[in-house]
Structure formats: structure tokens, C-alpha cells
Amino acid sequence: MSELYQLTATEVVALMRRGEIDSIELVEASIRRIEAVDAEINALPIHCFDRARAQARELSAAVHADNARSLLGLPIAVKDYNDVGGIRTTYGSPIYADNVANTSDATVARLERNGAIPIAKSNVPEWAGGHTFNPIFGITRNPWDTRLSAGGSSGGSAAAVASGSVWLATGNDLGGSLRTPASFNGIVGLRPGPGRVPRGARLPAFDVLWVEGPMARCVSDVALMLDAGAGHAIDDPLSFDDHGDSFLGALQGDELPKRVAFSADLAIVPMAREIADICKSAAERVRDLGAEITDQIPDFTGALDGFRALRAALFATMMGPILADHRNQISPDIVENIERGLNITPNEVFEAERIRSQLYHRMVTFFQSHDLLICPAASVPPFPVEQRYVEEIDGRPCETYIDWFSITFALTMTSCPVVSLPCGFTAEGLPVGIQIVGKPRGEAMLLRVAHRLEKIYGVAEQLPIDPRTPA
């Protein structure tokens, strides 16, 4: 047998279901791998090892045996924006450096009820951002090249998965925080539609920009984690139960797309030429599934300005009181975001909401003639860790520190599910991903198509990797 960390989550859960291994073995295998590689990438700075061992000893296989969606004691990483009971949650901020959560939040609690065991917290940017570094734990590095960024804000989760430290990790996604690091690290990340995965009470209850989603090495593992994490929680009024087939089972379905649209830039964002070419070639492989490809995409006019306004309003809602009390302990970029929200005009909010509503209905119309929309998952390859953010793309300057991932936040405005799927490599051997956008509540079809394409692209077969620092 291969070392356990080299197997997929789907494979090790199947072994546990057959009684060939147990949760304690997996916990110890994960701890050994973390201790072997994490010093090089700094993906998992907060450890829950003793808690995980205790949970593994107490987990009753008999109780979980009849639960087809249980992870049966599989260790996972939890992003440090989510609460795990009895463990620190810092948000990457010195204000909360010693904050210990009393209970797990709705996202984590549901996973724990379905047999997940948090083994570590993954590193994050301070409060938000597309590059994972903060004043408490420092920089998370990309295991494909430790000189480069792992992306963000789920960079710690993505790097931990790619390096084999854990089989699964939680991510969350506001403007691309799950999809960008998935692309940078060559793994799969799913931004589900709002309500599919319950969210904790820290977030505004009726916000639909921020969602929680699974991250894994392959599509079947993402589906496995979605089965364990999806459903209704009282903390989240938008969450709902789904009594349909499991997402893992849906991967074997026969329904495939007949018509797919591809765009390298959604007609609104800058894009590095090499990335555009790689993603275009990858999208062409959809023909192997019998689909026609067009360039007839929805009109995304106004989506970027609308997102910036709504994101600013969300930051002000969540962090206005924190800014009032702790301004000197918050990074200037985040202060600027909060103040932008505090100073936003009613007309800007009204216009952003009109744009969002119009875009959603354009997507509904688009899906009357198409099954999927495909575009790149990032406008650039991973960049040096010394850079705070990308300042220009293909010679075009970025106006703000978030503009370089506008290819993802434009899609946030649609409220459609999106999967980030690795599809190839740059000339320097760095991972490149595509985004595949599905119909509202269309996660099952989305994952099925991604599962088929994953076999064509062959990137998942190269994971996990040992951290690399090229000469």
C-alpha cells in the first residue's frame, strides 16, 4: 500500500468503511506529513493534534457506518477564518492573536457531525486578500515553488492539500479566495451557490457574496467533502437541506453538457497571454465530451464596479466596530476597504444591486442555450512572495490591490456555483486552472463535468507533491 497521505480522500474513506484502516492511523499519518513538510510552506500554523487524537479515539465507527455521507474520522484542515471549538481563530490579525473559539461554527460543526476531524488551522491573509501572509504567522508558500505565493485567502488550505498534509480543507470565497489558491496550487476548489454549505453566525446572515466550500486534490474528493458539509444549519437562514442523490454518486451520471461557452477574459478583465492560451486549449477539450463550444458569453458590464461596492459595504458591516476600536492594529489595505464601505453612497449601493440583479437574469437567459461557462481561474501565474499583490497584468496597471483577481469576483456576482479545476502548466511548470460555471443549484452537473475533464488534463495524478525550491 502507498503511504496513506499519497492516497485520495475517497480512497482512504473507502478503506475505513471496509475496516482496513481506522481514523487514528489517518490522524497520525497526517501529523507525520505536516511535521515533514510544513516548515517549508507554513500552511498550517495552528495545530489541533491532541484534540484530533482524542476525537479519533472517541469516534464510533458503528454510529457512522450507516451514514453514507460520513467521513468516518478523516482529518481535515480548517481555514483560520472558521471557528473550531477550543482552538484559536485569529483571522490573521494581531487583534485576535489569542482568541479561542468556544464552539465550532456552523460550517465546521456540520463536517464534524459527519465524521471530519480538524487537525490544524490553515494560514490566511489578515482579514482578507489574494496573497496569504499576516503579522502573526507570516507567509504561506506555494509547494510547487516555495519562492512564490500560494494565493489567498484560502492559501494555507490549498498549499496543505497540494503537499499532502491533509486530504481535505475548508475554504471560503468572497471574490475568489477559494478559486485563486486552488489554481495557484494545482488543486480543485468549489465555490457552491449561496446556502449550499451553511455559514457561521459571524457573517451577515443574508449576505450571498461570501460562501463556504470544499478544497481537495481531485473532484471526487471535493464531492465527498460537499456531501459531508452541505445542508441546513439554524445559524444560516439561507442554508437548505438537499434530499437528492449524493454529489459523489452524481459523478457517475450520464448527463453531460451539449453547449459550452468560453472566454479568456469575460470581455472585462486583463489576462496574461500565456494563461489565456493554456485555458483556451483546455476549454477545447470539452469537445471530447461531445459538447459544442461558443464564444457567446453573458454581458458582464458593470460587474466589477458592482462587486467593489458590495464588498466594501460588507467589510463596513462586519468590521466597522473593529476599526473604531483597533485602527492601529489593522493593515492599511483593510482600513481602506472598511472606510470605502463606511463612506459609500446610497446610490452606489442601489446601482450595485441593480447590476447584480441584471447579471443574474442574464445568466439565467444564457443557460437557456448553454450548459456551462468556462474562463481562466486567475489572470496571472503565482507571483513572488515578496510582492503584496499584482500591480500589472500584460502591461496594464491594476488600480487596486484586488483588481488582479477580478476574473473570479466578476463570477461571484452571478451567484452561480463555480469550480476551479487545474488544467495545465506554464512553461515554468506552475499550475494553471480554469473556472467552470454551472447553472444555479447545478453543483452536481458541474462536478460531473469537472470529473471527466480532470481525467483528460491529468494534473491530479501529480499530487501530492513535496515542496520544491527550484535552483
The predicted-structure confidence for 358-400, as pLDDT tens digits, reads as follows 999 999 999 999 999 999 999 999 999 999 889 899 888 888 7
Chain-wide mean pLDDT for the chain? Answer: 96
Return the pLDDT at 398: 86
Which of 3, 7, 8 lies closest to 220, judged by CA? 8
- Say what the pLDDT of residue 424 is: 98
How high is the pLDDT of residue 400?
77
- Catalytic pick among 23, 93, 104, 153: 153
Verify whether residue 153 is a known catalytic residue.
yes
Alpha carbons 33 and 419: distance in angstroms, whole number: 27
Concerning whether 79 is annotated as a catalytic residue, the answer is yes
Q: Taking the C-alpha atoms of 343, 349, 355 and 357 in order, what is their torsion angle to the nearest 10 degrees?
A: 150
pLDDT tens per residue, range 121-177? 999 999 999 999 999 999 999 999 999 999 999 999 999 999 999 999 999 999 999
243: confidence class by pLDDT, cuts 50, 70, 90: confident
Q: Which of the following is catalytic: 79, 93, 149, 183?
A: 79
Question: Concatenated DSSP letters for 270-310?
Answer: ---HHHHHHHHHHHHGGGGGT-EEE--PPP-TTHHHHHHHH
Class of domain 4-302+348-462: alpha beta
Q: Is the pLDDT of residue 248 over 80?
A: yes
Q: How far apart are the C-alpha atoms of 118 and 74, rounded to whole Å?
A: 8
69 neighbors 113 (Cβ within 8 angstroms): no
**Tens-digit pLDDT profile for residues 37-93:** 999 999 999 999 999 999 999 987 666 778 899 999 999 999 999 999 999 999 999
Percentage with pLDDT > 70 across the chain:
99
Residues 307-329: pLDDT tens digits?
A: 999 999 999 999 999 999 999 99
As beta bridge partners, residue 203 has none
Distance CA 143, CA 33 (A): 13
DSSP string, 440-465: TT-HHHHHHHHHHHHHHH--GGG-S-
pTM over 0.85: yes
Which of 23, 30, 177, 379 is an active site residue? 177
pLDDT band for position 196 (cuts 50, 70, 90)? very high
Q: Is 141:147 a contact under the CB 8 Å cutoff?
A: yes
**436 by DSSP, 3-state: which?**
strand
